[in-house]
Amino acid sequence: MKCGDHFLFPRDLEKDYPLAVRGEGVWVWDEEGNKYLDGCAGANVTAIGHGVAEVAEEMAVQAKTLAYPPPQHFLNRPSLELCELLLRMAPKGYSRVMLCSGGSEAMENAFKIARQYFVYSGQPSKYRLVSRWRGFNGNTLVADAVGGNTSRRSISTPMLMPVPHIVPAYCYRCLFGLVLSDCSTECAEDLEKMVIQEDPGYIAAFVAKTVVGAAAAALAPAPDYYRKIRRICDDHNILWIADEIMCGVGRTGTFFAAEQWDALPDIVVLVKGLSSGYAPLSAILLKEKVFHALRSTNSPYIGGHTYNAHPVTAGAGITVLQFMQKHDLFASVKEKGHHLFNGLQDIARDFPVIGDVRGKGLMAGLEFVRHRDTKEPFPSRESVARRVSDAAMAKGLIIYPVSEVLPGVEFNHVNVFPSDIPLEGSDIRMWADALIYQSKPVMNENYSRESVDVLVEMASMIRGSKAELRNKPWMGNSPKR
């Protein structure tokens, strides 16, 4: 549907969108009966897949029982139970949870908590945030200011508060000219240089996505990175706020992605996998020292939103987490990720247009380059990631394109985020096999339209020829055409 055919304000005012009408497992159908394989779990949202009956049933029961108690007067049981479950699943040391409705809202509250922590601790001079380039932390103005995605920030720049940014932890394009085998995590040390330059007496928090998703396609730092970040924050009395909107809730194989680096933040924001898209829900987990500063002074938290701790969305979150526990999904991510990355690495060896394969667990990213040896990005006029995504969508595969436009060039990435639903290793390999067909339209410098024809082979695969995938009950069944 085009913008003139309805009254919704869509994300892309020029795009002709299909109308989604049903989802089951990893499949989505439009109103014309076309079936799509969701190769990116929405936007890394639908962790347990579409159509899980117990989630919908729990939401319906709660909506009939109590849809909305005014939060200024009441607590509600589902919210309390969800907070307790989150703290049982999280590493030790976290003692309180704030429930919100989405990632941007949660990040804003995390910033406010950090500020109020220092005010109530008798250190009111500490108010500034430090962040990292090549990150995306939400769409509100403060989140935009903290974020490090140049193209997203550009139009709002006059309205943004000043936030210093350090270099990204971008091993493929290391700004210090190092390779991983010789890495000394100078990108982490850049935080200490920035803090000293800006005066640690004014710095309240360092904000970073543990694994960058939407802005840089599964960008994961070197092994020592976050241990060094933790030390720097401790040395300078700075809170570490981890944006785990995409990478939390088991997407890397542990409840917090930060656990993969043996380092724990002071404040952690979880969103997408928490409700698997069944309801708008986010959570902010606080270490005891952070909550204690507010509680011990009997100081009110200045913040809050109408739909904080909503019982229906909390019920969805509880049921999603219980589904994950029942199917032991976190434990199987390592094996699934092994199959996924093996497949993508095999493909990258055959096609020089793929410069980098990276990520953690079931978060993988491909970076397209014009020349692998030089890592030269494509000119912005080529719109490679978008063209690849559009070609894939036309043939029945949904992938998540990422483009960061700088003057004259465009860094092109594709996110590969399979759902956490009970999949076999061969099914995960099928993602890798199917996704690579999307890259073929950009495999030669002439970009011949004939090269798009190879997508037909991919389309036949995802529309039903993989019997072992199609016949699994959680994967859905192809509609009659």
Bridge partners of 241, per DSSP, are 207, 267
Sequence-ordered strand ranges (E) for 111-158: 128-132
The CA-CA-CA angle for residues 70, 71, 73, to 5°, reads 75
Q: How much is the pTM?
A: 0.89
**28, 143, 275, 295 from 325: Cα distances, Å:** 25, 32, 14, 32
Q: Tell me which residue of 321, 147, 170 sits closest to 248, measured CA to CA.
A: 321
Q: What region, left, alpha or beta, does residue 268 occupy, with left being phi > 0 and alpha being psi -120 to 50 degrees? A: beta
Give the integer Cα–Cα distance in Å for 361 and 357: 13
Give the integer Cα–Cα distance in Å for 110 and 136: 15
Q: Report the top-level CATH class of 328-475.
A: alpha beta
- At 444 the pLDDT is 41
Residue 234 has, within 13 A of its CA and on its CB side, a CA count of: 10
* Domain boundaries defined on the chain: 54-326, 328-475
**Residue 26: both structure tokens together:** 């990893």
**CATH number for the 54-326 domain, one of 3.40.640.10, 3.30.1490.390, 3.90.226.10, 3.40.50.150?**
3.40.640.10
- At 54 the pLDDT is 96
Cα 317 to chain center, whole Å?
17
Give the integer Cα–Cα distance in Å for 327 and 88: 17
The CA-CA-CA angle for residues 117, 120, 122, to 5°, reads 110
Per-residue pLDDT of the chain (481 residues; tens, 9 = 90+): 999 999 999 988 998 999 999 999 888 999 999 998 888 888 899 999 999 999 999 999 999 999 999 988 999 999 999 999 999 999 999 999 999 999 999 999 999 999 999 999 999 999 999 999 988 999 999 999 999 888 788 888 999 999 999 999 999 999 898 888 889 899 999 999 999 999 999 999 999 999 998 888 899 999 999 999 999 999 999 999 999 999 999 999 999 999 999 999 999 999 999 999 999 999 999 999 999 999 988 888 998 899 999 999 999 999 999 999 999 999 888 888 888 888 788 778 877 888 999 999 999 998 988 888 999 988 877 888 888 888 778 878 888 888 776 655 678 888 888 887 765 544 555 555 555 554 454 444 333 232 233 333 333 333 333 333 333 333 333 333 2
- At 385 the pLDDT is 83
Pairing of strands 409-416, 354-360: unpaired
- At 452 the pLDDT is 30
Sheet holding 397-398, edge to edge: 20-24, 27-30, 35-38, 397-398
Residues with Cβ within 8 Å of residue 31, at least 6 apart in sequence: 18, 19, 20, 21
- At 422 the pLDDT is 60
